[in-house]
Amino acid sequence: MKTFVLIHGSWHSAWNWHKVVPLLEKAGHKAMAIDLPGMGRDKTPIEEVTLQTDVAKICEVLDSIDGKAILVGHSKNGIMISQAAEYRPEKIEKLIYLAAYLIPNGKTQREYSMQDTEGVLKPYVNFYETTQSTTLRPEIYK
């Protein structure tokens, strides 16, 4: 039996994994999908969300489980699982990057996403300079 900790991508939450969790459990594994700070049911104000708050949440989950876990990170939050693995290497069995960023040390996700000059979402993203967080503008949902 393996333990999977499923980390959603930007602008998502634990609900992203609603079909994956039962499949892993049916195969005899333990699966946990969590909401990162400011996402889903977590009520942290977006202005307070940073890389550190996200990584701290993942580390808190890792600390709460027995043994090692397989971290699965989607999209931007591949960065978060990489950092969590740096902080808790003894708790990690494997990292899985699902359409996720895996960036070199010292670089930022923003540096790489800025290279995408034709992205459809670009005009609809609010960027919070002080925390490096982003949200989608309401008009994208139309």
How confident is the model over 72-93, as pLDDT tens digits? 999 989 999 999 999 999 999 9
> Taking the domains of the chain in order of start, what are their residue ranges?
3-114
pTM: 0.87
pLDDT(133) > 80: no
User: Cβ contacts of residue 93 below 8 Å, gap of 6+?
Assistant: 2, 68, 69, 70
The third-level CATH classification (topology) of the domain covering 3-114 is Rossmann fold (3.40.50)
Q: Yes or no: say if 13 and 41 are a contact pair by the CB < 8 Å rule.
A: yes
User: Cβ contacts of residue 73 below 8 Å, gap of 6+?
Assistant: 7, 79, 80, 81, 82, 95, 96, 97, 98, 100
Mean pLDDT of the chain: 92
How much is the pLDDT for 141?
80
Q: What are phi and psi of 73, to 5 degrees?
A: -115, 130
| Distance, C-alpha 86 to centroid of its chain | 15
Q: How far is CA 135 from CA 22, 23, 34, 38, 65, in A?
A: 29, 30, 18, 10, 31
pLDDT(129) > 80: no
Q: What is the mean pLDDT of residues 101-129?
A: 83
pLDDT(136) > 80: yes
